């Protein structure tokens, strides 16, 4: 009987620790329920950025990665075909909280600047109707491609999302950012690409 009590107590302890770890992981990966990420520290507004294990390589001034990505239908598309005009390249995925938050802003700014700047979304997840619908439901009407094998993000040194690349018509990456809102996106287009 004593062995069974120890086994029961041990099992309950392991279950409690596992439940706490799973709960923490779910809470850490979610949107946090906040409308924005502004916090006040010592009387100043600052933006909180969730810590990330990944660090993106500094690629400003580098050449835009010319690799193959995929269309929704699974066909190969060479990113070299994008060059020749100013580009806003947003690397995103539906499982990324900050990516979700900025998609509607990108859709709105695309409507304003789409005649002058080519907007492209590159999803780090494989092509699927679910991913496509996710972006379209948030107003995205620009081109979407999929980095199924990770070649684009690997070549660009990207490990944390979202990332937006501002690319000159000659293929030089002028700026690399994290999460953007509509006002900041407009400002960077005006200063870097127009």
**Residue 31: its pLDDT value, please?**
44
- CATH value of 68-193 in 3.40.30.10, 3.40.50.1980, 3.40.1480.10, 3.10.310.10: 3.40.30.10
Token readout for 90 is 């947003």
**Residue 122: its pLDDT value, please?**
98
Torsion angle defined by CA atoms of residues 15, 18, 19 and 22, in that order, rounded to the nearest 10 degrees = -160
Cis before 147? omega within 30:
no
What is the rounded CA–CA span in Å between residue 156 and residue 165?
10
What is the rounded CA–CA span in Å between residue 179 and residue 5?
52
SS3 assignment, position 172:
strand
Contact 117, 194 (CB under 8 A): yes
**Residue 28: its pLDDT value, please?**
52
**Residue 32: its pLDDT value, please?**
42
> Across the 194 residues of the chain, what is the mean pLDDT of every consecutive 10-residue run?
58 54 51 43 48 67 95 97 98 94 97 98 96 96 96 92 96 95 97 96
pTM above 0.75, yes or no: no
Collect all residues with Cβ–Cβ distance below 8 Å to 54 and sequence separation of at least 6.
Answer: 159, 160
Q: Domain extents for the chain?
A: 2-47, 68-193
């Amino acid at each position: 009987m004593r062995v069974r009590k120890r086994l029961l107590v041990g099992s309950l302890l392991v279950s409690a620790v596992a439940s706490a770890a799973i709960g923490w992981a779910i809470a850490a990966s979610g949107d946090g329920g906040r409308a924005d990420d502004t916090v006040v520290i010592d009387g100043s507004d600052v933006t909180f950025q969730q810590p990330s294990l990944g660090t993106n390589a500094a690629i400003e001034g580098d050449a835009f990665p010319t690799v193959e990505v995929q269309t929704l239908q699974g066909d190969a598309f060479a990113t070299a075909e994008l060059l020749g005009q100013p580009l806003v390249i947003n690397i995103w995925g539906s499982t990324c909280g900050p990516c979700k938050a900025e998609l509607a802003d990108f859709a709105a700014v695309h409507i304003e600047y789409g005649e002058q700047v080519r907007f492209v979304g590159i999803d780090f997840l494989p092509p699927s109707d679910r991913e496509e619908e996710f972006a379209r439901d948030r107003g995205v009407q620009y081109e979407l491609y999929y980095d199924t094998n990770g070649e684009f993000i690997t070549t660009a040194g990207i490990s944390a999302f979202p990332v937006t690349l501002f690319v000159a018509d000659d293929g030089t990456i002028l700026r690399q950012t994290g999460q953007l809102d509509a006002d900041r996106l407009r400002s960077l287009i005006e200063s870097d690409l127009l």
